[in-house]
Amino acid sequence: MAIEFNSSKTENTLNPESMKNKREAALKRAAILRETIQDYLAAREKIPSGFDLANQYEQAREAILKAFEATEENWNDWHWQLRHRITEVDTLARFVSLSDQDREEIAAVSGHLRWAISPYYLALVMCDEPHGPLWRQSIPSVQEITDTNGSDDPMAESWTSPAPAITRRYPDRLIINVTNQCAMFCRHCQRRRNIGRVDCHKPRHTLEKALNYVRKNREIRDVLITGGDALLLDDLVLDWLLGELQAIPHVEIKRIGTRVPVTLPQRITPSLCALLEKYPPIYINTQFNHPLEVTPESKRACDMLVRAGVVLGNQAVLLRGVNNNPHVMKKLNHELLKVRVRPYYIFHAKNVRGTTHFITSVDDGLAIMENLRGYTSGLAVPTYIINAPYGHGKTPIAPNYLLAKRGNQLLLRTWENKIIPYEIPS
Ligand code: SF4
C-alpha cells in the first residue's frame, strides 16, 4: 500500500490536548469502550463453561459410576479411569444417544484407528449437545478414514530425530517423546500416527539414550517431555527422568506436555505434585479447547499444580466446529485465566491425514486475534501459530498493526481500527 503519513487524513481523536473538558471526554470514551464489547457480553451468556454445567455433570458422573458398579473412590483414582476408558461403540451407546449412522461410522473407524475416552471426559460429553465441541474432539467421525488429504507427519518429526525418542527443530531446545499413551485419543491429534494398537511407554534404555544426547549437547537449555501424554508415566519413572534432567547443568528449564488437566484431572495427585515440586522450574502446557472443558475438577488439578510451583500455559488448537468463533475463544481464555492457566498459543490445525475436517481458514484465526487484542486483557491474548511444514517450526500469524514505516515515522492501526501516525524521537 502507498505510505500515507498525512495526519489530516488519519484519526487522532484521542489527543488529550484537543479535549476541553477531560472528565467529560473520559466519560464519553468509557461509553464508547463499553459499546465495543456489547456483542461479546451478550454472546458469552450462551456459551456455558464447565462450571455452569456442574449439576448435569454430576448426573452424568453418577450414571457412569452406576453402570460400572464403581465408587466415588474409583472415580478419583486415575488408574481406574484409565482402565475404564470407553473404547467400544456398545459401551458408548449406553451413555450417549447414537444414531444407526453414528454407530456404523464409529465401528468403521474402529477398524483402522484406536479411540478411547476417559469416564471423566465422557461425563463432560454427556453434558454437551450431540456432535457438539466435546463430542467432535472425542468420538470418531467417518471423515477420519474417508479423508485422503494431508500427510501422516506434516511436521516431519521422523526427519528431525537426531537420537532415539528425541525431536529437535530449534537451536536451544528439544522434545523427549516418552509414551504413546493418552487418557483420551483426541480425534484431531497431530501425532495420531503414533497411537498404534497398544499403549507403549518408551523403555528405560531408550530414555537413557535421549538423556545422553541432552548431556552431550550443551546448547540445550530447555527440554520438553511429551508423548502421547507425558503425565501418564508413573510417578517413579517421572521422578527418575526429571531428576536426571535436573542434574544436567545446562538444562535450565523442563517442560511437560500433557492434556490430563482436561481429560483426566484425577491424575494430578498429591504424590505427583510432591515430586514435581522437587525439580523447579517446571512449565506445563496443556490443551483446553473449549470453555466446557474448564470444570471444577480441572480447576482443582490446576490449583494443585500451581501450589507445587508449576507454571501453567494453554496451547489451544483452532478446530472447526469446536472453537473457530471469536466469542468462544475469548470466553475460553477468560475461563483459563480464572483457573490460573495462561493462554499461550492458538495452533492452526495441521494438515494431518484424517483430521482435515477440523481445519479452519486462516481468516477464522485472524478474526479471533483481531477480536482479542485490545478488547480484552493482554494476558488473555495468546500467539496464533502456524507450524511451517517439514519441521521449519512455529510461525506467528497476526493481524497487521504496523501499516507503514518510513525512517522514524510509523503508521499504526490500533485495535479499534484507527489509523494513527507515530513518530519515534530521533
Ligand atoms: S492428548 Fe495430545 S497426544 Fe494425546 S491424543 Fe490428545 S492431542 Fe494427541
Question: Is residue 228 in contact with ligand 1, taking CB distance under 6 Å?
Answer: yes
Question: Is residue 175 in contact with ligand 1, taking CB distance under 6 Å?
Answer: no
Question: Is residue 191 in contact with ligand 1, taking CB distance under 6 Å?
Answer: yes
**d(C-alpha 116, C-alpha 86), whole Å:** 5
pLDDT (0 to 100) of residue 152:
82
pLDDT (0 to 100) of residue 413:
98
Which of 48, 359, 315 has the alpha carbon at shortest distance from 187? Answer: 359
pLDDT (0 to 100) of residue 316:
98
pLDDT (0 to 100) of residue 16:
55
**What is the residue whose three cell numbers read 546448547?**
219
What's the pLDDT tens digit per position in 211-229?
A: 999 999 999 999 999 999 9
Question: How far, in Å, is the centroid of ligand 1 from the Cα of 315?
Answer: 12
**d(C-alpha 115, C-alpha 195), whole Å:** 9
Domain ranges of the chain: 30-398
Q: What is the mean pLDDT of residues 96-116?
A: 95
Which of 417, 401, 411 has the alpha carbon at shortest distance from 5? Answer: 411
CATH architecture assigned to 30-398: Alpha-Beta Barrel (3.20)
- The closest-lying atom of ligand 1 relative to the alpha carbon of residue 185 is 5
pLDDT (0 to 100) of residue 17:
57
46: number of CA atoms within 13 Å, CB side?
Answer: 6
What's the pLDDT tens digit per position in 39-51?
A: 999 999 999 999 9
Note whether 384 and 397 are within 8 A (CB).
yes
Question: Is residue 189 in contact with ligand 1, taking CB distance under 6 Å?
Answer: yes
Question: How far, in Å, is the centroid of ligand 1 from the Cα of 184?
Answer: 7
pTM above 0.75, yes or no: yes
Question: How far, in Å, is the centroid of ligand 1 from the Cα of 252?
Answer: 26
C-alpha cell at 138: 472425542
For residue 180, with 0-12 CB atoms within 10 Å meaning exposed, 13-18 middle and 19 or more buried, which class applies?
Answer: buried
